[in-house]
Amino acid sequence: MKNSQLYKGSLNTIVMKLLEENGRMYGYEITQKVKDITKGELKITEGALYPALHKMEAEGILEVEVENVDNRLRKYYKLTQKGTTETVNKLAELEEFIKNMQSIVQPKLDY
């Protein structure tokens, strides 16, 4: 992932936001979607994505569905009810973070 230290803490939030918008998605689709949205600026590595997905699944934030697609089984992830609530909180948290960072990086000067 580009500038991994800065993005790392937000991986879960990114995934949750995408699932909120798209309903259900599979691993590869998530990596591609992020690449598309950020025009290749942000690449989620496979080694980080799957552990994050599995952790959220164990925590009850995500649930899985399996379907047979193109000769193989495909595992879809989607938000649980708990996950949907959590997404709202996480997004609010992230927005707050961005706002704070902005005021540090570009402080408004009082004249």
Partner 1 sequence: MKLSTEQIEKLYQFTRQHYVEYYDLQTELVDHLANGIEEQWQEKPKLSFDEALQVEFKKFGVFGFMDVVEKRTAAMNKRYNKMILNHLKVYFRIPQIIGTIAAVGIVFYLLKMSLVSVFTMSILGLISIGFLFFSLFYLVRKRKKYEAKTGKKWMLKEIIFGHSTSLGLIQFPIQLFLQIDEPLVDIWLLIFSVFFVLIFICEYIIIFEIPSKAEDYLKQTYPEYEFSKI
Positions that interact with partner 1 (CB under 8 A): 26-29, 32, 45-47, 50-51, 54-55, 57-59, 64-66, 68-75
Q: Name the helix (H) or strand (E) containing 101.
A: helix 81-105
Least distance to partner 1, CB of residue 100, Å: 30
* Nearest residue (CB) to partner 1, 21 versus 70: 70
* Nearest residue (CB) to partner 1, 38 versus 100: 38
Q: Name the helix (H) or strand (E) containing 92.
A: helix 81-105
* Nearest residue (CB) to partner 1, 69 versus 88: 69
Least distance to partner 1, CB of residue 108, Å: 42
* Nearest residue (CB) to partner 1, 20 versus 29: 29
Q: 54-68 burial, b if ≥16 CB within 10 A, otherwise e?
A: eebbeeebbbeeeee
Nearest one of 8, 39, 44, 41 to 27, comparing CA atoms: 44
